[in-house]
Amino acid sequence: MAQERPANKIPANQMPNQRLANHILPNAATMIGVCVTAVGLVKIAEPHIGPSRVDTYCALAALIFLASAMCSYMALRFEGRERMSASLERIADACFMAGLLALTVVTMLFAYEVI
């Protein structure tokens, strides 16, 4: 038996917690933490492995994730202004994906000792 949704309930696709910005914000903050951890570990390991620029590149990836977090936060704060909120959410999404790509590339290059 399928349960019917009461008439006063908001449809699932319009519920506020279903917005992409609600998912980007905590994950972008987590990824900033991952980048900070990577920077710290590289700084600890540099005397043993020699100088590298991985810490610099991870710090840049953290800034990309920061831009993503800020845009998703602003999108949530400006919910009443639909066009602005949607634009900020798209920017947050693009920054988040760019940060993931950047961190993956840095990781691969570091793993293969290119950087």
Q: What is the pLDDT of residues 48-61, one digit of tens each?
A: 989 999 999 999 99
Structural domain contains residue 46: yes
Phi-psi region of 45 (alpha: psi -120 to 50; beta: other; left: phi over 0): alpha
Question: Rounded to an integer, what distance in angstroms lies between the CA atom of residue 56 and that of residue 95?
Answer: 18
Q: Give the residue among 78, 65, 71, 94 at the shortest CA–CA distance from 21.
A: 71
Q: How many independent structural domains does the chain possess? A: 1
> Does pTM surpass 0.95?
no
Domain that holds residue 87: 35-111
Structural domain contains residue 11: no
Mean pLDDT confidence for 27-52: 95
Structural domain contains residue 58: yes
